[in-house]
Amino acid sequence: MMSSAHMVDDLYQGIVPAMLPFLVSERHYSYAAVAGLTLAATMLSSVVQPAFGVWTDRKPRRWLIPLGMTTAALGVGAAGLFPSYAVTWVMIAISGLGIAAFHPSAASAARRAAGDSNKGMSIFALGGNIGFALGSLLATPVLLWFGLRGTALLVLPALVMALILARRLGPVLDGRDGERRPAAMPKGRDNWPDFLKLTSIVVVRSIVFFGLSSFLALYFIHGLGASEVIGGAALTVFLVSGACGTLLGGWLADRFGAMVSIRYGFACCLPAMAGLVLVREWRLAMVFVVLTGVSIFVPFSVFVILGQNYLPNRIGTASGVTVGLAVTVGGLFNPVLGVLADATTLHFTLTVLIALPALALALSAFLHDPATADRLRLQKMDRAAPTAQ
């Protein structure tokens, strides 16, 4: 249920980029104006998401899950109805506010449902990946048929999901008739130093993701001589491969530990991205797109549950930062990459990005997994028990 809710919520993050070409063609917005709308969608969400996390730590507020989702949908739906740029900007910003309200409470509820299972949390994260990818697939035909006023129809998925959550979320998480199901939530002291290290890694990974999402299709078209259809297909392949990588990362973390998932993901990303910029034929490059998409997403869901383990007394705050702030902050670096691409080439820009997985891999060497530490401590106690007797 939480994965489905995550899918519907992040659908509206994917719809905003799909709206931009229609805003340019129908309202004749400049590229700078379009960039301002993208900033409205990401900046407000980045700033307020940790605040929602802190708020939910004081008292669980599950009603923020359907309310945040509905707000995100209403903001996007209204953005296509008003010709004023200022009003459109505000509506997109309100949609970002709804996204920010949704994620901390949703991630906390997902952790309650998943317990200590990285695979369970990867299914929650997968919902967001699918929703982001479906955003453009759903919005483009609607906007082609109805124009920008068709954004009002895009509110429907959120309304349906919000009704389902209002009726079913409590019984699913807590059991029927008020029965409280036990939840394997983390316990212990908050480890802020390791959490801040993890946050820096999430930001670095996010810069790579937004850079590839923004420039991969253009690189195939202008750097490898592929058609626009092939360029769009490359981006789709990247996102679909990422969905597979999300599930793989959860499985690896449950079987071998969170650090293995994180470090192997970044280690495999290095040769994959190197292959992408070294080959000069788009069919071969597509193979490296698959490998890059899988590897860069392998650590994604692990970040969420590891951050919650670092801050067991502030689950909402940890969720707001790892799912929201650190991810969207990475998108704020995109203009820097754009300036670099204008000054040099897309090939050079993607080459520079290869350094970031290496940096994330180096930073991960300073992390430790508290779950692994607890298991080792229990094993030592078990081995010492017969000796003590």
Do residues 94 and 139 both lie within one domain? yes
Give the torsion sign (CA, 101, 102, 103, 108).
positive
Do residues 167 and 250 both lie within one domain? no
Do residues 224 and 96 both lie within one domain? no
Give the single-character DSSP code of 154: G
CATH for 103: 1.20.1250.20
Q: Write down the pTM of the prediction.
A: 0.75
Q: At which residue do the structure tokens 């919650």 appear?
A: 308
Do residues 157 and 200 both lie within one domain? no
Do residues 140 and 194 both lie within one domain? no
In a domain, 378, yes or no: no
The residue segments making up the domain with residue 315 are 188-369
In a domain, 149, yes or no: yes
- Select from 68, 69, 90 the least CA-distant residue to 79: 90
The pLDDT assigned to 384 comes to 56
In a domain, 39, yes or no: yes
Do residues 254 and 153 both lie within one domain? no
Give the single-character DSSP code of 374: H
Do residues 159 and 295 both lie within one domain? no
Distance CA 361, CA 181 (A): 38
The pLDDT assigned to 261 comes to 93
Do residues 124 and 230 both lie within one domain? no
Listed as ranges, residues in the chain with pLDDT below 70 are: 31-32, 35, 174-187, 324-327, 331, 371-389
In a domain, 251, yes or no: yes
The pLDDT assigned to 115 comes to 75
In a domain, 377, yes or no: no
In a domain, 104, yes or no: yes
The pLDDT assigned to 228 comes to 75
Question: At which of 127, 158, 177 does a domain end?
Answer: 177
The pLDDT assigned to 385 comes to 55
In a domain, 382, yes or no: no
The pLDDT assigned to 172 comes to 73
Do residues 244 and 159 both lie within one domain? no
* Domains: count for the chain: 2
The pLDDT assigned to 378 comes to 44
Residues 207, 357: contact at Cβ < 8 Å? no
The pLDDT assigned to 379 comes to 45
The pLDDT assigned to 322 comes to 78
The pLDDT assigned to 231 comes to 82
In a domain, 376, yes or no: no
The pLDDT assigned to 327 comes to 63
Do residues 263 and 296 both lie within one domain? yes
Do residues 82 and 216 both lie within one domain? no
Contacts of residues 156-164 at CB distance under 8 Å and 24 or more positions apart, as own/partner, are: 157/8, 157/11, 157/73, 158/8, 158/9, 158/11, 158/12, 158/69, 158/70, 158/72, 158/73, 158/74, 159/70, 159/73, 161/4, 161/5, 161/8, 161/66, 161/69, 162/66, 162/67, 162/69, 162/70, 164/1
Distance CA 304, CA 308 (A): 6
The pLDDT assigned to 316 comes to 75
Do residues 276 and 300 both lie within one domain? yes
